[in-house]
Structure formats: structure tokens, C-alpha cells
Structure 1
């Protein structure tokens, strides 16, 4: 059996072990579904031994694609077993880009742009910003959301397919969950079938968020993953066909999904204002991600967050710090959001049409690492930031 297939078999056994103990699954999207029975691995140590042997084989065979993914799996598994590698090393291995960070002045400038976009909608920047946005955008009852999401996706789908040059079919199942977790929406799946879960504890929709959501989750994640499945069925691809959130293509997946409105509906000012706001908020989250993982006190991080984002509640800030500081999966995966949105927003704002088309076609054909994205657009910004220490801010004195 070839190396790629051995890796997939090992990942399936690892996933079965984790899900049997009700831990976070390893496989997020299965682009090569099989009916073969899967035997759960006996333990995480057994999985580590198996992945280590495969990693040595990848090195011997000069298989860089498999070697890079195996390194991500090994480092993440090491963290599950209790290892605590330096933050920069951890992200470089798992997300494929360093925890370099963005200069204070850059984050501030992105915030200025977000505030200007909100001001154009009549929304002020203060403790009530989030409430103002919901009221301005028109709240939607969550029971109406599934059909509205499908309708919005159907309307935008031809434009996305044309840009990405994909005719891959997909089906969509929408379900609800009620869990104490950071996420409000989650899409996973198998083959060309995607499952979208709405977390009733956190999910909130407006007419604007419906349009943004359809582009992100359905025409971003679902169509993209189905396109990978279609590629894997047409071609004997060299990359492991099981996607995991701790692997180095998440920067691509989350980046393109977040920035999608800038490419598809650039004249929809309400939706693009949301993207501008999300860009800023993700960079602030990145500052907190860096700070809490490099030994900065949680209270100082919280003060910084309140100064940067006046409408974040203390509970929101606490969750941001806890998720990024304690959870091995989220300590890796949540870095993909700021790193990804920053690169793809820059692509939308500054790249020419030919470059945008080249990137979309490539990223809907197969999952790509930050290094491969950079090769597609060498003029783009450094993924993960150009490098800057976090300067934590304090609220002004009364």
C-alpha cells in the first residue's frame, strides 16, 4: 500500500479512537469516503508510533507533501499527550505559518477602515456597536435561517463556480446543536455531502449575516471540499484526502471563506462592512492569541481587548483567551482565521483579476499550504504577519 493510503488508514484509526472517547474528532472532511470497517487505535501513543514510522518513510521517499502533513499531525498529537512546544514552533508545524503577528499601527489602520465602513451604515463605534449592527441588518428568526441560507447560496453560486472553475456537485444537510463551545456554526462532511450545524447557544442571524454565511460556509467550505472530492475521484492525488483543522491548509480554507464577499459581492456594502469588521476583530484576536501564549498576564490581555473592542463582553474576552491558551486544537486552528483573512483581503484589495482567478482555481482544486499560496501570489503579504511584538494597551485613566 502506498504512503498516502497508509496515512489515511492511520488517521481513520486515530479518529475512531478520539470519537469513541467523545473527544474532538480528527477528520473534519473526508474527501475519500470508504465503506471499509475501521478499527480504533488502542491509544494516542500507538497512533504517535505509527505516524512517526510514516514520517520517517516520507523523509526516505522525499515525499514533501505527506511529510508536511505528518509533521502537523505529530506535533498536534504531541500536544494532546501533554507536550507544550513554543507557540511559534507549534503554529509553524500545524498551520504552516509562524506566529509572527502584525504591527500595532497596522491593526489600528485596519480598525479605522472597519469603523469607517460601519459609519457608512450609520453604526457608531462604542459598547453598543454589536446591537446596532443587528438592528440595522434586520434580525432573522433562527427557524427561518436554513431556507434563507439555501436561497442566498443558490443566488451567489454561479459567480463562485465561475471564478473557481468548479462543477463539483454537493448536497447540504442543516442541523442544530446545543453545546458549550466557541463556535456558532460548523461545517463538516464526507465526499460530496456536507453537514452544517447551527449551535443554538451562539448562532444569531440577520439578513446580512445570512448572505455572508452562505458565501462562507456553503460556497466556501462545502463547495470547496466537494471540489476536492471531485479532484480526488478524477485523479490519483498525492495528498492525504482527509482534512483536519490542525493541518496547514486551514489558513487557505478559513481565509478564502471569510473574504469571499469581497470577490463575489463587492458592491454589497452591508456584507463587505462585515468583512472589514471581521478582519479587524481577527487581528485583535491574533494579538490576544500571541500574548496569552507568550506569558502575558490574562488581566492585561483582557484590558487590551476592552480597549481595542469596546463592545466585547468580559465573557467573550474570557472565552477568547481560554480557547487559545488551553485547548491544543484551538491553540493551533484559531490562528488560521487572522492569518487567512489578512492574506485574502489583501488579495481582493490589491491583486489583479488574473491573479485572483489563478488563486481561486488552484484553491478549489486541492488544499494548499501557506507556502503554496505564496508561490501563487509572491507579491502578497507575509502569511501570519510580518512580525511584531504585541503592545498591550490599557484603558484610559478616568
Structure 2
């Protein structure tokens, strides 16, 4: 075994033990998807404390630095987990530092002109459906999209994924298999849909307390959760089985720099797969604008902008948002160490992937899509890949 693989295995063993520790305490899991599960499931001994995790990650970071460029991607994961562990211990780095260390991208906003252009695209797409911008937008859009029950959604989302699957597999060149189990939940948490699992076994949780269900959203989340996340994770699992010496950590966590790629693509996937589905594209265009507004609030609340000023800005940007929605948006992005990192990947990632969908040559686009179903990539790697794909066609 080479020194890179030995380091990777040490990091993975520590993450597994940390994961057990957090779950045993009733905390948030550290591992969201295991792309290299043990053939015979076993329980790992939990760490003694978060301080032990932080100290071990500090030691492993030094080892990665000694190895050099061959361990760069492992080093990025170590850095991200160390920053998150530090936040759980009470450390509060400036947002710029925290996002750079965890998500691998800068805490930078968007020009006003760009935000308004994205808004105009959303308004145009919605008006094409007969939905006007204003206080009743969300109500009118849900009514237009054919509301269904949560029980119906649990059956229809996998069915929609099966219908769209041949198109996606052809586009991304993946033959990986996966099986999905849909689990209804009712929890007081920020998410409406959540996917986790190991290997080829996927669990899709639907939080009926916060999720809404329409026929359009069935197609949206079939692409996002199953043909986005599930197929990507299953593809990584297949790659890891074919090459046990991959030089990257095989345990996916939402505080890592891969989320920019994963969440961005999952949201933007309809632009690549179903560009003629006007209702679904309108959903993506609207989500793009809303994510940019959430990104603005993320930056503002962490910069100490007065809360009333933040709330007034949100109301001006999105007239149908309630005070409860605005409150949760501010709280999640400032007070929760995991979400302060993770939720930045949504606006930053979607903005990048939407730009690729709207401007890239088809061949360059396909090269990028196929690559990201082979291995997880950080924002820097993704940008480099897109540049190489474009240059290769000139």
C-alpha cells in the first residue's frame, strides 16, 4: 500500500469513529454516503471526544503536507473536517475562512446586475406558464403544478426517475446500479428531502413537515435526489470497487468541498436533461434566483448586518416569503456550524452549473458531466476541468 492510500485509510477510519460518536450522542451524522462500505458491516469504536477528532485531524493534515501533491485531495478533506470539528468545539472563524476551508470556495456575492438578470429569467419562465411575480406566486405555482399527496409522491418519484434514467445514463455514461428505499419522515429540520446510504443502497427521506408535493416537483426531485445524488454516489462506489486505491476519501459529508459540485448539479440537472420541460425549467430558474437571495442573506447575517435590514432586503427581493421563512434562512446560515458551511454550496454551485448549461458547448458540457460521475471534484478542480474541456474543442 502506498503512502497516499495509507493516509486515506487513516482518515476514513477516524471519520467512521467520529460518525459513531456523533450518532450515539444524538447529533448530526458525519457520513452522508459511504462509497466503500465494509463487506461485513461492523461497528467502529467511537472516538472519546470532538477534541480527539480535532487533534487527530491536525496530525493527519501535517502528514498530508509531507506527502505533497499526491495527497492534495485528501488534504482538502482533512482541512474541511478539521474546520467543521473546530466549529463544533466553539471556534467561529470568519465566514470567508470557514467556507474556504470547508466548501473550498470564496464567500463572495454576486453583482446586482447578475442577480437581476437571473430574476428576469425566472420571471420570464414563470410568465410563460401564466404565473405572475408577486405575493401569490408560490400559491399560484403550486396550484398550477398539480398538487399530490406525500404518499403519492413517494411512489411517483422513483417512477419518474426510472422514466428519465436512460437519458441521464446516456448523458453521463454511467452503468452503476442502485436501489432506493423511500422513507417518509416528520422532523423539525431544515430539509424537505434528504438522501443517504452506502454502496448501492440508497435511502430517500421525505420530510412531510416541510416538503410540498406536485407533479412537477416529482420530476424535479427524481432528477435531483435519484439521478443526481444517488446515481453519482453509486457511480463513485463502482469506481472504488474497480480501483481500491483511488486517491480520495470515499466517505461523503456535506461539509466537504464536493458539495459545490454535487448540490449545484443536482439543482441544475433539468437544464441539461429536460430543457424542453417548461414547467420544470421554470422551477430551476426560480430556484436559481431564490438561492442567490439566500446567498446574500448568508453573507449579510455573518457580516453583522442588522437583522431588520436583512429581513427588509429579503422581503424586497422575494415578496411572498413569510417572516418565518426569512427567520429560518438567517438562523440556519449563522447559528448552525454545519449549515453555515453546507448551505453556501446551493447558491454558489447552482450559479456555476446554470452558467455551464446556458453557455457551454455541448461537447464541453458532456465532458464535464461525465467526469463528475466518475469522481467527486472540488470547485477548483471543477473550474479547471471546464477550462480544459473548452480548450480541447478549440
TM-score with structure 2 setting the length: 0.95
Out of 305, 311, 316, the residue aligned to residue 314 of structure 2 is: 305
How many angstroms apart in 2 are the aligned matches of 1:379 and 1:100? 24
1:378 Cα deviation after fit: 2.6
How many angstroms apart in 2 are the aligned matches of 1:112 and 1:37? 52
1:178 Cα deviation after fit: 1.0
After TM superposition, list the pairs within 5 Å mapping 1:132-171 onto structure 2.
Answer: 132-171=140-179
> Match for residue 122 of structure 2?
114
How many angstroms apart in 2 are the aligned matches of 1:49 and 1:79? 14
Matched, 1:360 2:366: no
> Match for residue 67 of structure 2?
61
Matched, 1:248 2:261: no
Out of 93, 96, 99, the residue aligned to residue 101 of structure 2 is: 93
How many angstroms apart in 2 are the aligned matches of 1:177 and 1:155? 25
How many angstroms apart in 2 are the aligned matches of 1:80 and 1:103? 33
> Match for residue 51 of structure 2?
45
After TM superposition, list the pairs within 5 Å mapping 1:1-398 onto structure 2.
Answer: 2-34=6-38, 35-62=41-68, 63-235=71-243, 236-378=245-387
> Match for residue 392 of structure 2?
none
1:75-107 residue CA offsets vs partner (Å, 9 max, x unmatched): 111111000111111101100100011011211
How many angstroms apart in 1 are the aligned matches of 2:50 and 2:99? 21
Runs (4+) of structure 1 exceeding 6 A deviation are none
1:336 Cα deviation after fit: 0.2
1:334-357 residue CA offsets vs partner (Å, 9 max, x unmatched): 000001100111111100111111
How many angstroms apart in 1 are the aligned matches of 2:328 and 2:190? 7
More off after superposition, 262-271 vs 32-41 = 32-41
Cα gap change, 1:351/1:219 in structure 2, threshold over 3 Å: closer, same or farther? same
Residues matched between the structures, number: 380
For residue 274 of structure 1, give the secondary structure of its aligned residue in structure 2: helix
TM-score with structure 1 setting the length: 0.94
Unaligned runs of 5+ in 2: 390-394
1:91-132 residue CA offsets vs partner (Å, 9 max, x unmatched): 011001000110112111111110111011010111110000
1:222-266 residue CA offsets vs partner (Å, 9 max, x unmatched): 111000000000012110100110000000000110000010010
1:12 Cα deviation after fit: 0.4
For residue 333 of structure 2, give the secondary structure of its aligned residue in structure 1: helix
More off after superposition, 99-108 vs 39-48 = 99-108
1:37 Cα deviation after fit: 3.1
1:175-200 residue CA offsets vs partner (Å, 9 max, x unmatched): 01111111111001111111000101
How many angstroms apart in 1 are the aligned matches of 2:17 and 2:155? 36
For residue 377 of structure 1, give the secondary structure of its aligned residue in structure 2: helix
1:379 Cα deviation after fit: 8.9
How many angstroms apart in 1 are the aligned matches of 2:171 and 2:121? 27
1:54-80 residue CA offsets vs partner (Å, 9 max, x unmatched): 111111111111111101111111111
